Structure 1
Amino acid sequence: MALTVQKFQTVGPVEQDEDVENQNVHPNEIDMDRLYPRSGHRAVVDDSNMYVLGGYNPRFRHVENSLDTYYPLFKELWKFNFTTQKWTSLITDGIMPTELASHAALRCGRNLLYFGGTGVPFGHSSSNDFYTCNLDTLKWRYVKCRGDIPQKKYGHAMARLGKDVYVCGGTTGFVYNMDIHRLDIYTGVWEKLQVQSKYTPSSRSQLLKYNLEYGRKHKQNLIKCMDILELESVTVVHCLEMDGCLYIFGGVTRIDDIRTNCVQRIWLILPTLQELCWENMCLTLDMNRLQKHRSKLFEIGVPIHFIERL
């Protein structure tokens, strides 16, 4: 039986640098409510939204910064609602880190966890700081850590298992490694782990995090999908998975050339009939308007877990 090529679907608004002929951005033309194309960002998801932190675009390299900006890096946190397909710029409280390219981020409950990353120039202003941002209060908190703190780095991977966060690989900008460190998020103590293996992968940066629980359940689906899918021409992106659906945001096709703010997705498993019905409702009705009248959705029988996504 012939394989059917699976294609990524574009959702939400799209803009690419090539649409403006890759011109440098003029300071007077910057719109703080606009999500500009970027690469080097990181994203996390919950049941309703994708949160995008940071990123880089060289078109902003000549913009003079204020206390709230750090161009050509984006000192920003954005939220994309999967139902309304609408972006919202989130105004946070506290001190946001400035090393906002090739950092690592993940979600733990209602907190976004951040570690490492680089500012500009790349590799000369890297970080080994650990921060949290509460996604409800939008307050940043610097976490003072101790123990075997990893060296300042970027391009590393980060994953959580229980109360521990694991950081692997990365680069200082001059030296690459495959070191593995573990952080107890309750005590703030780092520990460098000794690899118990005869084989260690070559040192590298820009590692992809693989979700262990998801991988055990859907490994074959993931492998088959990556073998036969078609993706838009984007070579450096940040991808993540939610309930069997793979999302990709932003990226660059040619270094320092064309970046995008496109959101793409593809199902790795067969979505439920409920999920397909909800998606059809979202495409047919004005969900931005219905956000103000959620009780009516409940009255007509829409399950509460879908209404809570609004």
Structure 2
Amino acid sequence: MALLMSFYARMRNIQQKNEISNKNKENYAFKLYTFERIFPIVSDQREIPHPRSGHRIGCNSTNLYVYGGYTPQYVDPASGILMQHLFNELWQFNFATRKWMLLPGQETIPPELASVALIFDGKTLMVYGGTNLPFGEQSSNKLYFCVLTKGNFYHGMQLVDASGSMPPPMYGQALVYHNGYLYVIGGTTGYDYTCDIHRINLSTMKWEDVFIDTGGLDYMPAGRYRHEVAFDGEHIYILGGGTNVTAFDLEYIPTFNINEKKWAKKQTKRDPIERQNCGIPEPRMCHSCVQYKDENNEIYVYIIGGNNGPDTVYNEMWRLQLSTLQWTKITNKPLPFPVYFNSACVTQEGKMYLFGGINRDESKRTNYLHSAWIVIPKLSEMCWESLLHYNPNLCKSSKAELLNQGIPAHFIERLYDNIC
């Protein structure tokens, strides 16, 4: 505690030195469950990702990564013609410097860039499936990975040379990683929908079928795409999703036991305070989702946004406690606009980030980045946020200068931890 208070005192001293230049700046205040827009530091709009939907994001404590995506309103630089466009891009956003960087290696990115499935463990990005244009006519069943750690030579996206019983090419799947296996759940060809489960052994790179719907079962969830999943170490929970005609409910959740290889349908508990839809999130698809395990090993799942048809789009956030299946609507402050085909991720410290999607209010795609704390973090994290709030140009100082000012080395590294 003494060390922490010493750190706080040093941070406060640095902030006071900048009071003159920051005298009109709003005071820093920690806010739980409150979405705030992050404004990047740029000199040219070409230094930020184009508005998009159908992309995926992942993050660690330092950086956020945006992969792929789609827009129907892209002006071709060569011809000036307005056209549909898929983004063969991987962007990096540094939280501390608030700067975007387009990573090299675009030639290594596969063409199926809409509604891919993505998982990021903080070091390695894994991307599976997705579709090219026209949607569904060229889909993927290939797995790519990309190592995103400082000090490693950046190779771009690397195709996995896989064998075994490969899943059919699809898009809109969901992923779970567990004990050396990557599970792929559901998806669509553009015409047919499935909730089948496949997995690949990441040591042998061999695929195998986990569960295939052959009919005659007491219970098998309907096929779907653009669903999200949660995982408790034994059960995969299927959250929403839909087809071209319907979105699935969130009161009864399809649950798959990976050990017994059996499906079950579990009823969730209603929020006793929330009256909307009797305390259960309304059916939806194309929402975003994050999962967070707290210090008591309780797993909480958050769903954000989503839609049930083009006219029913949500700007709300709901929380599901997996151990009790209790829903709670987070009412502190909703998203600033209803959004779907968005993507979310969460840091290990408990800060959620939300990027892009279709803004229903403006009927267009967005490239806004929002964040919200979903836990109360360590005091040192609040100190670091406060320091960056009052000192946005901290990265212009050298590492030696920052160390001499008493800033812990692991925070300083966040300023300079870029891949390229």
Give the TM-score band, short-chain normalised: 0.7 to 0.9
Alpha-carbon offset, residue 95 of structure 1: 2.1
**Distance between the aligned counterparts of 1:81 and 1:5, measured in 2?**
22
Q: Could you tell me how far apart the structure 2 residues matched to 1:151 and 1:220 are?
A: 29
Runs of 4+ in 1 over 4 A off after TM superposition: 61-65, 195-198
User: Relative to structure 1, is the Cα distance of residues 58 and 284 closer, same or farther in structure 2, using a 3 angstrom cutoff?
Assistant: same
- Which structure is higher in helix share? 1
Map 1:1-310 onto structure 2 (within 5 A): 6-13=33-40, 33-60=47-74, 72-92=85-105, 95-108=108-121, 110-136=123-149, 137-139=153-155, 140-194=157-211, 198-210=218-230, 212=232, 214-215=292-293, 217-219=298-300, 222-223=319-320, 226-228=329-331, 229-233=333-337, 234-242=339-347, 243-254=349-360, 257-287=363-393, 289-290=395-396, 292-310=397-415
Deviation track 1:159-184 (CA, whole Å, cap 9, x = no partner) reads 21131111101111011110111111
Judged with a 3 Å threshold, the aligned counterparts in structure 2 of structure 1 residues 284 and 122 are, in CA distance, closer, same or farther, namely same
Distance 1:93 1:110, change over 3 A: farther
Moved more, 77-86 or 250-259: 250-259
2:33–2:374 contact (8 Å) kept in structure 1? no
Query: Aligned-pair RMSD on alpha carbons?
Result: 3.1
| Structure 2 unaligned regions, length at least 5 | 1-30, 234-291, 303-318, 321-326, 416-420
Q: Provide the secondary structure at the position in 1 that maps to 2:367.
A: strand
| 1:106 Cα deviation from its structure 2 partner | 1.4
Q: How much has 1:32 moved relative to structure 2? A: 5.3
Q: 1:259 to 1:220 in 2, by over 3 A?
A: closer
Q: 1:255 to 1:119 in 2, by over 3 A?
A: farther
Larger radius of gyration: 2
Give the drift of 1:203. 1.6
Letter in 1 for 2:91: W
2: CA distance, partners of 1:226 / 1:174: 34
Between the aligned residues of both structures, percent identity stands at 34
Relative to 1, partners in 2 of residues 1:5 and 1:303: Cα closer, same or farther, differing over 3 Å?
closer
2:353 is paired with a residue of what secondary structure? strand
Return the alpha-carbon distance in structure 1 between the equivalents of residues 154 and 394 of structure 2. Answer: 22
Say which structure, 1 or 2, has more relative contact order (CA 8 Å, 6+ apart). Answer: 1
- In the alignment, the residues of structure 2 paired with residue 220 and residue 120 of structure 1 have an alpha-carbon distance, to the nearest angstrom, of 32
CA distance in 2, matches of 1:145, 1:237: 30
Q: How many residue pairs align between the two structures?
A: 288
Structure with higher strand content: 2
CA displacement 1:100-124 (0-9 Å, x = unmatched): 1100111246321111000100011
